[in-house]
Chain A
Amino acid sequence: MLLYTARRAGSPYHILYHILLALAISFSAFAQQDSVALEPVVVVGFAPERFMAGLKIQRVDSAALRQFRFQNIGDLLAFNTPLAFKNYGPGRLSTVSFRGTSAQHTAVLWNGLNINQPNLGQTDFSTLPVAGFDRLSVQYGSSASAVGTDAVGGSLLLESGGAQPEGVRLLLGRRQASFGNQQTQAGANYGAKFNDALHFSGKTLYYDGQMNNNYPHTERRGYYVEPSTAEQRGFVQDLVLTGKKSRQLSAHLWLTDNGSTLTPENPDARQLTRTQSRRAMIQYQTPTWTWRTAFTRDLIDFGAGDYSQLEHTATDRFLTRLEKEIAWSLSGGAKVNLRVGGEVAHYRTRVDGYAEPFITENRADFFALSRWQFGPRWLVSASVRQAFVTRFDPPLTPSLGAEYRLINRDKYLLTAKGSVSRSYRVPTLNERYWKTLGNPAIRPESGFNKELGVEAKWLPTDNQQITTSLTAYHNRVDDWTYWNPDRNYRVENLQLVVARGVEMQAQWRATFPVWQTGATLGYALNRSSQERVYNAYAVAIVGQQLVYVPVQQGTLSAYAQRGIFRFTAQMRAQTRSFTTFDNSNHLPGYALVNLLAEATGQRGRWQANLQAQASNIFDALYLNVGRNAMPGRSFSLNLLLTYNSESR
């Protein structure tokens, strides 16, 4: 299908087609194994998921991470989760709505460190390339007691670390895409054993992308396509030293530098947004203690015209955390883990638009997380966290979650889950310190999340596996902070937002003698509404769906693999998303379909993975937040070459 499309599409794709065909033929000659080897997983650091009994956690599989390796985390999540995105355009700001909450209500953790930009309290998902991390878990629902601030709608847990036990694995990747867009990645994973006790591993990666967005058309069905360009550069360094008794010292560094320019051809009106982040972390772990210290620097520069006057935002964070875990075995076979810890952080921010040119504040968190395993059927977690912030009083946030194995057979597992938890969000620096519009007296939001779910795993035959989950949730957030458009966008604790919904996910995998195949279906229904009347015109807003939160979303992906070839279809559909608080105006719903063909070949120590992608194959029209058209059908060819000194 893809080859056919590529052949018909015209001369550039004609060349692509021949390259693809030639490579495919040569790979098949070298094919020796039927399946693509999965990389071993080394878990570095403390996994907060252990203390999240009752909550839904989705681990994104390595095949998806590989397929989206040249794209951003937002693209990956859009096709694999029911998260909704507010997208300003290709390579431009993209923010998330997790279970009907706002962009500030999703915690993004990198090796356990919250990396939401502190001034905005959110992450621009266009600045986080999938290549920058190695594992990703999506945790649904409030988990403030385990994660801290921002974990109201859910959390994204990114982990990085070397995955090469010994020797060296070199990597070179290149993406060549429609519209003159491209990306290059170069890096290495390495590991060495010094003696029986000491093991070292690491990862180094550099990536550099350029989106020229040279669209062949200026308009799509009456809507203009925004002229824009974007650059993305980054550097990742992970070092892990493992000693006796699981003692581990690790260091992590992630530098990102993203620039996007609107109307680059217009010297008077062009607009530049440059976002840079520097994140560094050192962590030391013993079986019972974890100590971590980190530094982050987030920079944003915004300017227009000749860029002679850039608005500058700079925030530094110094952070250190100590945790201790204790385990007991109770009589009757119950196992209890208790993890207590504290974190202190110092913030320094300089922003042109703030009431003061230089602002510092201190934050601290203390938490106690517990996990109770009663036999094979019961798992309970009970946790509590208290945060302290300069000039602000976050509430105490307890949580209680439980899982019960209803059916526990060899080929059939059924688990019921439930969780109740409070959540909080430390207001962003902008919300408190912005001149005139900010509000130093802003109160904490108060969130209360309840959810119930079931998870089933079924092995109907030896070669097939089906997993499904169904979750219903109700998340009530009072004193919801709101840049009030009635008052020229001043920040106020005006609203009461109730988000409730249902999420369903089903996955099927099968292995046949020649074919391996599988499919994942996801569906989410989300009603998220503002429920408080605070002025005469708010009557029109009460009960209406929140802006940029589609009521229904669905994803479907299916793959089939035969030998070195893998074919994948990805689909994402969403209903309309409203742009006004009274739902009088909306962006239409849409469905996007991507097709991917992959071939992986091995020769000696070399491996090549070639991927041909056709995105938005039906050329669906969909609009960005600014009601301008997103690009239509596009193609890309991705090549990932690896050399592994340890391969046969």
Chain B
Amino acid sequence: MKKQFLKVLGVVLLVGTMNACREKEPEPEYYELGVMVLNAGNFFDNNGSVSFFKREKTTAETDVFSDKNGRSFSGGVQGYAETGEHSLILVDNDKAGLDKVEIVNLGKWTSEASLGAPDIENPRAVIGISPTKAYVSCYGATGVFPNYFANPGYVAVIDLSTLKVIKKIPAQKGAAKMVKFGNDVYLGNDSGAAELLVIDTATDAVKRTLKIGAGPEPISPDANGKLWVKTGFSVVRLNPQTDQVEATLKVGTDPRKSPSSFAVTPDGRGFYYIYSFYDTVSGVNKGETHYFSIDDTSIPGNKPIINRAFTGLGVDPLQGLIYGGVTPSYKQAGYVARYRPNGEKLDSIKVGIAPSGFFFK
């Protein structure tokens, strides 16, 4: 009896030891197919995050960075891009000089580098240029109203092989949204300056300056190879070949509302956008989600697709579903509401605080 016991014990120990010694299988790359949700967080709490879910799921991993790295972002999430083997997240702290670009491994989300001031100050948009290069547009150090844009903006060029900022391309004040089209990057601004800059990604230098209108925000190229740009309450259709503005369309007629969060449809033949205003009586942002086609000759803004405004809007290129970010308040978790292209609601998924952008993969 005792012998048998020892035998069993021996086998158990042996198997246990073998198991312990066995080389661990490489960790599966978790963050492959799915949706990354950029949660801006509460500005003064610096608690932005990135959530992830697979399309077929209705629950999300709320804070991927914190789960994988044992620390959280200390700021709001302003932008996200993937290129090569890396993901880049823009983190904006409410205190000056404490902003970061967090660079993580694309699939595993383990931290690779954190880039901060003075290279990165008030980062607003990020875009992958090549597997080893990314652009981050920055306001630079900001001041106080009315001189908020106290310094010129710039585009930080990040070398992803050394994980360092290797160049700052001077830009207009309030440098913000970027769209890559061919070998060029179109850079807009939040300061109200009229110029849209065209940056040559081969030389990392500004090669043309286009006057579009106050605070141009490049949206996306369409199916016809035209670039759409928002300026003020209008959108313009730009021909990138000739730099000519082919059309200027005023969005909507409601004097209280303004358009925002344009998202191109998967076929490149139309855009969804939010048309909303801040209601001072209720203290709530009110409005709807609309659609226009690139062939439309006017955008009346009176037939909403979804009778609701969101803090972020996206369209999944794979399934064509509309994703809206729902923010009950900046002091509790937000939701992603999913809709069919006709505006029929499908479901909602709890994510981080103030979902404001989506990255579909």
Which residues of the other chain, B, contact A227 by a CB distance below 8 angstroms?
Answer: 95, 97
Give A269 to B328 CA distance when docked, in angstroms: 30
| Chain B residue, CB-CB nearest to A227 | B97
Which residues of the other chain, A, contact B329 by a CB distance below 8 angstroms?
Answer: 484-486, 537, 581
Are B282 and A487 closer than 8 Å at their CB atoms? yes
User: Given A223-B71, A227-B97, A305-B143, A487–B330 Cβ distance below 8 Å?
Assistant: no
Are A222 and B71 closer than 8 Å at their CB atoms? yes
Are B74 and A223 closer than 8 Å at their CB atoms? yes
Are B283 and A540 closer than 8 Å at their CB atoms? no
| Chain A residue, CB-CB nearest to B140 | A268
Q: How far is the CB of A353 from chain B (nearest CB, A)?
A: 15
Are A541 and B332 closer than 8 Å at their CB atoms? yes
Contact partner of A627 (CB less than 8 A), chosen from B72, B114, B331, is B72
Tell me, yes or no, whether B67 is within 8 Å of chain A by CB: no
Are A266 and B44 closer than 8 Å at their CB atoms? no
Contact partner of B331 (CB less than 8 A), chosen from A485, A625, A628, is A485
Tell me, yes or no, whether A580 is within 8 Å of chain B by CB: yes
Which residues of the other chain, A, contact B46 by a CB distance below 8 angstroms?
Answer: 626-628
Which residues of the other chain, A, contact B352 by a CB distance below 8 angstroms?
Answer: 584-585
Tell me, yes or no, whether B169 is within 8 Å of chain A by CB: no
Which residues of the other chain, A, contact B93 by a CB distance below 8 angstroms?
Answer: 224, 626, 628
Q: Mark A227-269, 1 if CB is under 8 A from B, else 0.
A: 1000000000000000000000000000000000011011011
Are B331 and A580 closer than 8 Å at their CB atoms? yes
| Chain B residue, CB-CB nearest to A584 | B333
Which residues of the other chain, B, contact A584 by a CB distance below 8 angstroms?
Answer: 62, 332-333, 352-353
Which residues of the other chain, A, contact B150 by a CB distance below 8 angstroms?
Answer: 268-269, 305
Give A490 to B42 CA distance when docked, in angstroms: 16
Q: How large is the interface on B (under 10, 10 to 19, 20 to 34, 35 or more residues)?
A: 35 or more
| Chain A residue, CB-CB nearest to B49 | A585
Are B98 and A224 closer than 8 Å at their CB atoms? yes
Tell me, yes or no, whether B64 is within 8 Å of chain A by CB: no
Contact partner of A486 (CB less than 8 A), chosen from B116, B142, B151, B284, is B284
Tell me, yes or no, whether A463 is within 8 Å of chain B by CB: no
Q: Mark B318-351, 1 if CB is under 8 A from A, else 0.
A: 0000000000111111000000000000000000
User: Given A222-B111, A487-B283, A579–B144 Cβ distance below 8 Å?
Assistant: no
Q: How far is the CB of A103 from chain B (nearest CB, A)?
A: 16
Q: How far is the CB of B293 from chain A (nearest CB, A)?
A: 34
- Residues of A187-235 at the interface with B, using a CB-CB cut-off of 8 Å, are 221-224, 226-227
Are A262 and B71 closer than 8 Å at their CB atoms? no
User: Given A221-B71, A227-B97, A537–B283 Cβ distance below 8 Å?
Assistant: no
Q: How far is the CB of A423 from chain B (nearest CB, A)?
A: 25
Are A266 and B141 closer than 8 Å at their CB atoms? yes
- Residues of B230-284 at the interface with A, using a CB-CB cut-off of 8 Å, are 278, 280, 282-284
Tell me, yes or no, whether B172 is within 8 Å of chain A by CB: no
- Residues of A267-297 at the interface with B, using a CB-CB cut-off of 8 Å, are 268-270
| Chain A residue, CB-CB nearest to B63 | A585
Contact partner of A626 (CB less than 8 A), chosen from B44, B280, B328, B333, is B44
Give A295 to B6 CA distance when docked, in angstroms: 85
Which residues of the other chain, B, contact A536 by a CB distance below 8 angstroms?
Answer: 328
Which residues of the other chain, B, contact A266 by a CB distance below 8 angstroms?
Answer: 96-97, 141
Are B95 and A226 closer than 8 Å at their CB atoms? yes
Q: How far is the CB of A628 from chain B (nearest CB, A)?
A: 6
- Residues of A533-547 at the interface with B, using a CB-CB cut-off of 8 Å, are 536-537, 540-541, 547
Q: How far is the CB of B43 from chain A (nearest CB, A)?
A: 10
- Residues of A479-512 at the interface with B, using a CB-CB cut-off of 8 Å, are 484-490
Give A625 to B46 CA distance when docked, in angstroms: 9
| Chain B residue, CB-CB nearest to A540 | B332
| Chain A residue, CB-CB nearest to B94 | A626
Give A304 to B69 CA distance when docked, in angstroms: 35
Are B144 and A224 closer than 8 Å at their CB atoms? no
Tell me, yes or no, whether B356 is within 8 Å of chain A by CB: no
Tell me, yes or no, whether B78 is within 8 Å of chain A by CB: no
Tell me, yes or no, whether A436 is within 8 Å of chain B by CB: yes
Tell me, yes or no, whether A582 is within 8 Å of chain B by CB: yes
Tell me, yes or no, whether B47 is within 8 Å of chain A by CB: yes
Q: Mark B69-103, 1 if CB is under 8 A from A, else 0.
A: 10110110000000000000000011111100000
Which residues of the other chain, A, contact B19 by a CB distance below 8 angstroms?
Answer: none
Are A485 and B45 closer than 8 Å at their CB atoms? no
Are A226 and B98 closer than 8 Å at their CB atoms? yes
Are A269 and B143 closer than 8 Å at their CB atoms? yes
Which residues of the other chain, B, contact A582 by a CB distance below 8 angstroms?
Answer: 332-333
Give A488 to B282 CA distance when docked, in angstroms: 9
Which residues of the other chain, A, contact B278 by a CB distance below 8 angstroms?
Answer: 488
Are A263 and B144 closer than 8 Å at their CB atoms? no
| Chain A residue, CB-CB nearest to B335 | A537
Contact partner of B114 (CB less than 8 A), chosen from A222, A490, A623, is A222
Interface centre among A268, A487, A547 (most CB of B within 10 A): A268
| Chain A residue, CB-CB nearest to B331 | A485
Tell me, yes or no, whether B203 is within 8 Å of chain A by CB: no
Give A537 to B141 CA distance when docked, in angstroms: 37
| Chain A residue, CB-CB nearest to B141 | A268
User: Given A226-B98, A263-B95, A625–B333 Cβ distance below 8 Å?
Assistant: no
Which residues of the other chain, B, contact A581 by a CB distance below 8 angstroms?
Answer: 329, 331-332
| Chain A residue, CB-CB nearest to B72 | A627
The 4 lowest CB-CB distance pairs between A and B, nearest first, are A269-B96, A487-B283, A537-B328, A268-B143
The 27 sampled A-B contact pairs (Cβ below 8 Å) are A222-B114, A223-B74, A227-B97, A263-B97, A268-B144, A268-B147, A269-B96, A269-B142, A305-B144, A484-B283, A486-B283, A487-B282, A537-B332, A540-B333, A541-B332, A547-B331, A579-B42, A580-B47, A584-B62, A584-B333, A585-B45, A585-B353, A625-B44, A625-B45, A626-B93, A627-B47, A627-B72
- Interface residues, chain A, CB within 8 Å of chain B? 221-224, 226-227, 262-263, 265-266, 268-270, 304-306, 436-437, 484-490, 536-537, 540-541, 547, 579-582, 584-585, 623, 625-628
Task: List 18 other contacts, CB 8 Å, given A579-B45, A627-B75.
Answer: A223-B71, A224-B116, A226-B95, A227-B95, A263-B96, A484-B329, A485-B330, A487-B282, A488-B284, A540-B332, A585-B45, A585-B47, A585-B333, A625-B44, A626-B44, A627-B47, A627-B72, A628-B95
